[in-house]
Structure 1
Amino acid sequence: MMGLMFTTVIGYAIVLLIAALFTMHYLGKALNSSDAETIDPKPETK
């Protein structure tokens, strides 16, 4: 019974980790921060 609990917790943690990595990878490609300067140039201030 204890082994089943550990397997379930570790498996659930791995699934959450994969989902988080996939989400961060997807957002990293979709929200490219290097385009921000091109789209909205930084104003020149003194």
Structure 2
Amino acid sequence: MGLMYTTVIGYAIVLGIAALFTMHFLGKALDSSDAERVDPKPDVK
């Protein structure tokens, strides 16, 4: 029973670290401030 809990908790920790790692690098690569510079917002509708 303890092995099952350890496996599930370990798997959740590994998934969490992978998610944080991915979001950290995607957050750097997909900088939202670049959007205004590349495609400026029009002044009139």
TM-score (norm 2): 0.93
Over the matched positions of the two proteins, sequence identity in percent amounts to: 82
Unmatched runs of 5 consecutive residues or more in structure 2: none
Moved over 4 A (4+): none
Tell me the distance in 1 between the aligned counterparts of 2:22 and 2:42. 32
Equivalent residue pairs, number: 45
RMSD across aligned positions (CA): 0.8
Unmatched runs of 5 consecutive residues or more in structure 1: none
Tell me the distance in 2 between the aligned counterparts of 1:45 and 1:17. 44
What is residue 8 of structure 1 aligned with on the other side?
Answer: 7
TM-score (norm 1): 0.91
